């Protein structure tokens, strides 16, 4: 009885909070429209100013321990046809979000928004990347998150497996589950809005984010999660915001150390960077998504030598990506400099699966225990 009252209060508080957020989002979008409107009245060429979202304009925030945008700005004005069209699209988008989403309490996926623009004539988006980017722009201008506009990404299938019990607020009511006992082999699928989850209890000592499905399945099959009390997160390539958010929450709310286990190539280092430092494209959300204490487990270029892994040659694109990382402020640490330079010398890369060449148990019995104790986690 008592529990149900508590639950109701909780739900009430949540719905009030949600309503307030919607109101705030609407207000801020209206402010944006209003400022453009006033620019017309004042005879100022209508424009929006945004931080420029490039590698050159991210800087380390000591306060938050993450990478955020610097002071370089770009201006979108109606002085060019492109700029004018972008502003027109922005206004269309703002109208959609205010009138369809926030006023009616509905939502759409990123893909749906791209399709909705079909009816906008010259303001139609040419590709989904364009609408996605404009939504990010609106997040920056309003300092809100796209979830606050009721915009959600497509489910990407990232999953969690490990000794964790949680409660999820779904559209069909509350669901409680244990991420080892109540889930199938694929694990618990991460919902797009991770803030609808409440962690209840756990028995974990660490969180391990894993790039490939093959390695995630290998660790589950070998019982690594049980043996080492690890919460395994399958990040499925470049991690979605929800994946990064759940890692961040596991780290900050449950105080668990996070390690990232990827392939040993320049693209995988960027996956790690987006978890630990923040992504260039979404540095405005760094404080919300980034886990500064996350550490890179492997595959390290030095592992290629130390474990004599079978390798592939670096392609020209790989080499270019590695060199570009040397000028990326996020990788400007002695550790990364050493590893990247070593890899440039080796001209080789290795996949996570390369450990299979030494037997199916090698990764769980030898490599991971050695690396984790080296890192002081076990």
Partner 1 sequence: MEIAEELAKHQKAISVAEFFEKNRQILGFDSAPRALITCVKEAVDNSLDACEDAGILPDIFVQIKKSGEYYQVIIEDNGPGIVPEEIPRVFAKLLYGSRFHALRQSRGQQGIGISAAVLYTQLTSGKPTRVISKIGPSRPARYCELLINTAKNEPEVLKSEDVDWERPRGTRVELEMDGSYVRSRRQSVYGSLKSTAIVNPHARLTLVEPEGNMEVFERATESLPKKAYAISPHPAGIELGELIKLLRYTDKKKLRVFLKETFSSIGAISAQELCNLAGLDPEVLPSDLDHEAAKRLHIAFKQIKVKSPPVDCLSPIGEELIKAGLEKEYRLDFIATAVRPVSVYSGNPFLVEVGLGFGGELEKESRIEILRFANRVPLVYQQGACAMTHAVEGVSWKNYSLSQPTGSGVPVGPVVLLIHIASTNIPFTSESKDAVADVHEILVEIDLGLKEVARKLRRYLSRQSVLMERREKEEIIRKILPRIAKKLSDVLAKDEPDIGPVVAKIMGNLLVFRKVERVNGRLSVNILVENHSDLLRSFKLHEVLAVQADRVTPEARVISMADGYDYHWKLSIAPGKSAALSYSVAADGVTLTEPVIEGLDAEIVTGARVI
Distance in Å from the first CA to the final CA of the chain: 43
Output 102 or 247, the one with its CB closest to partner 1: 102
Distances (CA, A) of 341 to 267, 270, 310: 15, 16, 19
User: Looking at the DSSP assignment, which residues form a beta bridge with residue 160?
Assistant: 188, 233
Of positions 48, 66, 94, 164, contacts partner 1 by CB under 8 A: 94
Interaction between residue 256 and partner 1 (CB under 8 A): no
Cα 338 to Cα 269: distance, rounded to the nearest angstrom: 13
Whether 98 contacts 144, CB under 8 Å: no
User: Looking at the DSSP assignment, which residues form a beta bridge with residue 61?
Assistant: 66
Residue from 327, 257, 334 nearest 297 by CA: 257
Of positions 122, 181, 316, 345, contacts partner 1 by CB under 8 A: 122
Output 53 or 89, the one with its CB closest to partner 1: 89
Interaction between residue 150 and partner 1 (CB under 8 A): no
**Of 76-84, 126-134, 158-166, 297-305, which segment contacts partner 1 by CB under 8 A?**
76-84
Of positions 18, 27, 28, 30, contacts partner 1 by CB under 8 A: 30
> Is 115 among the residues known to form the active site?
yes
Output 62 or 122, the one with its CB closest to partner 1: 122
Cα 46 to Cα 77: distance, rounded to the nearest angstrom: 6
Output 76 or 236, the one with its CB closest to partner 1: 76
Interaction between residue 84 and partner 1 (CB under 8 A): yes
Interaction between residue 104 and partner 1 (CB under 8 A): no
Task: Give the gyration radius of the chain's Cα atoms.
Answer: 23
Catalytic residue among 69, 115, 188, 362: 115
At closest approach, how far in Å is the CB of 38 from partner 1?
Answer: 8
Secondary structure (3-state) at 133 = helix
Interaction between residue 129 and partner 1 (CB under 8 A): no
At closest approach, how far in Å is the CB of 250 from partner 1?
Answer: 40
The answer to whether the bond into 40 is cis (omega within 30° of 0) is no
State both tokens at 109.
């996926």
Interaction between residue 101 and partner 1 (CB under 8 A): no
**Of 79-87, 185-193, 220-228, 292-300, which segment contacts partner 1 by CB under 8 A?**
79-87
**Of 88-96, 209-217, 259-267, 350-358, which segment contacts partner 1 by CB under 8 A?**
88-96
DSSP state of 182: S
State both tokens at 187.
């694990």
At closest approach, how far in Å is the CB of 124 from partner 1?
Answer: 12
Interaction between residue 116 and partner 1 (CB under 8 A): no
**Sign of CA pseudo-dihedral 160, 165, 169, 170:** positive
Of positions 91, 186, 346, 356, contacts partner 1 by CB under 8 A: 91
Output 117 or 339, the one with its CB closest to partner 1: 117
Three-state SS annotation for 198-223: EEEEECCCEEEEECCHHHHHHHHHCC
Of residues 33-52, those binding partner 1 (CB under 8 A) = 33-34, 36-37, 39-46
Of positions 110, 123, 183, 186, contacts partner 1 by CB under 8 A: 123
Q: Collect all residues with Cβ–Cβ distance below 8 Å to 183 and sequence separation of at least 6.
A: 161, 177
Cα 76 to Cα 48: distance, rounded to the nearest angstrom: 5
Interaction between residue 305 and partner 1 (CB under 8 A): no
**Sign of CA pseudo-dihedral 236, 241, 245, 248:** positive
Interaction between residue 1 and partner 1 (CB under 8 A): no
Strands 206-210 and 230-234 come out as parallel
Output 22 or 222, the one with its CB closest to partner 1: 22
**Mind telling me the catalytic residues?**
115
Which residue ranges make up the site for partner 1 (CB under 8 A)?
Answer: 30, 33-34, 36-37, 39-46, 78-81, 84-85, 87-88, 91-92, 94-95, 98-99, 122-123
């Amino acid at each position: 009885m008592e529990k149900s009252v508590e639950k109701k209060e909780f739900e009430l508080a949540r719905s009030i909070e949600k309503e307030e957020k919607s109101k705030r989002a609407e207000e801020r979008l209206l402010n944006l429209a209003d400022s453009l409107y006033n620019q017309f009245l004042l005879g100022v060429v209508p424009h929006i100013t945004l931080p420029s979202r490039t590698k050159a304009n991210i800087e380390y925030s000591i306060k938050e321990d993450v990478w955020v945008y610097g002071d370089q700005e770009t201006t979108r004005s109606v002085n060019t046809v492109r700029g004018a069209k972008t502003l027109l699209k922005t206004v269309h988008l703002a109208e959609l979000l205010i009138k369809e989403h926030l006023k009616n309490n509905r939502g759409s996926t990123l893909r749906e928004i791209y399709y909705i623009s079909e009816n906008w004539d010259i303001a139609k988006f040419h590709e989904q990347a364009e609408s996605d980017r404009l939504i990010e722009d609106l997040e920056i201008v309003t300092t809100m998150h796209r979830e606050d506009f009721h915009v959600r990404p497509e489910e990407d299938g990232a999953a969690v497996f490990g000794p964790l019990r949680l409660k999820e607020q779904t559209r069909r009511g509350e669901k409680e589950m244990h991420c080892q006992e109540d889930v199938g082999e694929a694990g618990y699928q991460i919902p797009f809005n991770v803030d609808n989850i409440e962690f209840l209890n756990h028995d974990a000592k660490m969180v391990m984010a894993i790039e490939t499905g093959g390695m995630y399945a290998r660790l589950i099959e070998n019982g690594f999660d049980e043996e080492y009390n690890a919460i395994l997160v399958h990040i499925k390539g470049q991690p979605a915001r929800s994946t990064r958010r759940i890692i961040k929450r596991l780290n900050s709310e449950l105080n668990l150390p996070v390690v990232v286990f990827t392939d040993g190539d320049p693209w995988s280092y960027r996956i790690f960077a987006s978890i630990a430092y923040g992504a260039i494209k979404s540095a405005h959300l760094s404080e919300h998504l980034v886990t500064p204490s996350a550490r890179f487990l492997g595959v390290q270029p030095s592992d290629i030598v130390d474990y004599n892994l079978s390798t592939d040659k670096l392609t020209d694109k790989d080499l270019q990506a590695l060199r570009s990382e040397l000028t990326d402020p996020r990788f400007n640490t002695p550790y990364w400099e050493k590893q990247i330079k070593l890899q440039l010398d080796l001209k080789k890369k290795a996949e996570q699966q390369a450990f299979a060449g030494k037997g199916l148990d090698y990764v769980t019995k030898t490599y991971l225990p050695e690396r984790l104790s080296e890192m002081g986690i076990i």
